[in-house]
Amino acid sequence: MDQAYDFRRAARASHNDMHEGAPEAQSDNSIEASKHFDFLVIGSGVAGLRYALAVAKFGSVAIVTKSEPQESNTMYAQGGVSAVLDPADSVESHIRDTIVAGAFLCDEETVEVVCREGPERVRELIAWGALFDQSEDGQLHLAREGGHSHHRIVHAADMTGREIERALLTAVRTNPSISMFEHHVAVDLLTLQDGATVVCYGVDTLDMKKQKVVRFIGGVTMLASGGAGHVYPTTTNPLVATGDGVALAQRAHAVVSNMEFVQFHPTALADEGLPIKPEKRENAFLITEAMRGAGGILYNQSMERFMPLYDSRGELAPRDMVARSIDDQLKKRKEKFVYLDISHKPRDEILAHFPNIAAECLKYGLDITKEPIPVVPAAHYMCGGVQTGLLGDTSIEGLFAAGEVTCTGLHGANRLASNSLLEALVFAQRAVEPSVAYAFQMGGKKAEVEKVENECQHLVVAMDLKEDELKEVLCFTELQRKRLQHIMWDYVGIIRSTERLKVAQRKLSELEAEWKDHLVRNGWKQRMVSLEVCEMRNLISVANLVVSSALVRQESRGLHYTTDFPMLVESARLPTILFPSSSMNTWSSKLVHRMEVETR
């Protein structure tokens, strides 16, 4: 009898025991009975799907996803997955490129693990049915992007994320051990604290379709909820990217790190520069890094090439340098966008490699084979997040994490292009073995599960509010959300200063107080939930973490550039680690040299 079968038999017994011992659901018809699974996955991007497929061999799996399953940052990733697959390339070269791009703040052990295991993870994607571009000789076509010294980007034209999501979702949907719960918003992790130890037993969610609160209990919870791009007004991220995972983990007492390093992609499509102006977008349209890797040139509006003035690598410099260079050009010239030009390349080549970008631009009257593309930086990726070890483990027992929600140490102060999908794949796999072992261990802890059921208060949908009260709460929340986003862009953007960060901190504090007061005055109770209120709470948490971390780092490194400390300081080559304080609602942010700052 193989080990997998032994575990599944034990897991089924544990699963049945938990159902038999669980209390009945409350009489409130907005609350459903708890659902029990061996593995819970929050998020349906590449990290969550890859993990779910692996652990499904050992027990029942629930994937809880905020919107449609495909609506994740993965779906919008254009460039590809970086991996050493060319004999002329080397793992050592990939390691070096990653560390240089990360401004030497990367965890070197993590970098080596990811770069060495990357090729095998790509081969697994192909085995699952992912179709990547091939050269004429039938080998994978490997592109090159900024910061990379070799061609090592596996891609599917300029829609790589969409292809990976398609392949993994197809495999998930045909797996009988995996259940998908769409339109379920993760509200709070279910945890119990014993001294310094916090243990996670699952998550409370809001079923948006039924407007009911649903509690999920699991042996292991995998946090794979993606990023937080919508903490800024312009982002390449989809609407679901509101920092939910980091905020959930923060409230549950997880250690968080490197939140000051927010990556602004240098080249999002600048709608103002298009011949036909699009209607308002929910997220900015990304112009992939691969276009610069394929020979795209950046010009200001006088058609003067400017990147060589800032960096000897020109357009192939890492993203932090390119974004700052564009920002400098825009401010000096008082312009709102620059141009990225690929039109000097053969038409067939452009259309073969960038069909999605070409089609999108053509919708608004721009032919990229003949004209330059107007571009501007936009919030793109969080290099910081929930701190994890090499096995995806967090500081909370029973909680693992993978993907953009994490800080593994791979990216350091700036992510190397196309390392994000790679990181998600590697850590989703590395978390499998310890997850299975922990879930097996939890199978015998029926009493603890019952304690969670009995002691964790149930949330309620905001149905008791009068219609005008609810409308007022949601309208004010939307206004405050926009205000928060503009505070972050105006004071915590690409170029920062201590004074402006302190102004942001004060304004965020005032905003939060005003928002909470408005909710209370309109009848909102602490246990009430709605999508809009949950997202706003999470955005406030993430914004405060970014600002507090940025104030602590008194140097300029990678994505964090401050005019008060413009130089890189070798003694500050340390991660910013945000430890939970003794109070569950108060946090202290510190570098290893113990500078502290309070944050909510």
User: Active site residue: 144, 152, 319, 557, which one?
Assistant: 319
Q: Which residues of 200-217 are buried (b: 16+ CB within 10 A; e: fewer)?
A: bbbbbbbbeeeebbbbbb
Residue 423 CA to residue 429 CA, distance in Å, equals 10
Q: Using an 8 Å Cβ cutoff, are 232 and 547 in contact? A: no
Residue 34 three-state SS: coil
Residue type, 577: I
Residue 362 three-state SS: helix
Residue 221 CA to residue 424 CA, distance in Å, equals 16
Residue 298 CA to residue 329 CA, distance in Å, equals 11
- Environment class of 109 (CB within 10 Å of its CB; exposed 0-12, middle 13-18, buried 19+): exposed
Residue 206 half-sphere exposure, CB side, CA atoms within 13 Å?
Answer: 19
Residue 402 three-state SS: coil
From residue 491, how far is each of 314, 501, 515, 522, 546 by CA, in Å?
28, 6, 20, 31, 11
* Closest to 178 (Cα-Cα) out of 68, 45, 38, 9: 38
From residue 360, how far is each of 188, 350, 367 by CA, in Å?
38, 14, 10
Active site residue 319: yes
DSSP state of 166: H
> What percentage of the chain's residues is helix, strand, coil (to nearest 5)?
40, 20, 40
Q: Which residues are catalytic?
A: 319
